Amino acid sequence: MIGRLTGRIVELSPGEVVLDVGGVGYELRVPVSAHAVLAGLQEATVFVHTHVREDQIALFGFPTRPERDTFRSLIAVAGVGPRTALALLSGLTPADLAGAIEGEQWRRLAAVPGIGRRTAERLIVELKGKLGGIAGPSGGVREDAVSALINLGYAAKDAEAAVAEVLRTGGELGLDQILPRVLKLLVR
């Protein structure tokens, strides 16, 4: 099993990255949100999940260990495959996903393309209480930032995605630091 790869980024597109590791090009499927993290980098380290089926071996890469661990928890749920799990992690950070599951917010999960009400409810039933240690805390500053952007007229989905991207690349920030960065991102 491949658990982690560090190498030179040869190709990068939303949903996919090719890493050259010792002269071998590894093609990895990644959440769309990983594109913003990897863009502009020459080299990257990604945490890998190796998915083996009868007819193929697929590698899924994640910029952080919590994303990979959340992915593994998601694909353990009946009816949730790698494609669905990637869609969830493309639309929600691990912390947001854990918050939605703990808060039983099936509508928030169902807002992700490819996730219906039944799948969202199954995720809540099977993962409630299991993602807290993986994803870390949620809420507070993140929710305040999203709320402020919605009040400014931005769509909830756009606001959540922009805040998640800023927090993913900026680490722990206060509301006064997040909002200017998110507004710059949304204006582009």
Q: In this predicted structure, what is the pLDDT of residue 144?
A: 76
The helix (H) or strand (E) run that includes residue 46 is strand 43-52
Q: Name the domain count of the chain.
A: 3
**Pair 131, 153 in one domain:** no
Q: Summarize pLDDT for 51-63 with one digit per residue, the tens.
A: 998 999 999 999 9
* pLDDT for 173 beyond 80: no
If we measure between CA atoms, which residue out of 179, 162, 13 comes closest to residue 91? 162
Residue 178 domain boundaries:
141-187
**Pair 10, 51 in one domain:** yes
State pTM to two decimals: 0.70
Helix then strand count (H, E) for the chain reads 10, 5
Residue 51 has φ and ψ, to the nearest 5°, of: -110, 115
**Pair 56, 72 in one domain:** no
Q: Summarize pLDDT for 130-148 with one digit per residue, the tens.
A: 886 554 444 567 777 877 7
The helix (H) or strand (E) run that includes residue 48 is strand 43-52
**Pair 131, 80 in one domain:** yes
**Pair 178, 145 in one domain:** yes
CB 123 within 8 A of CB 77: yes
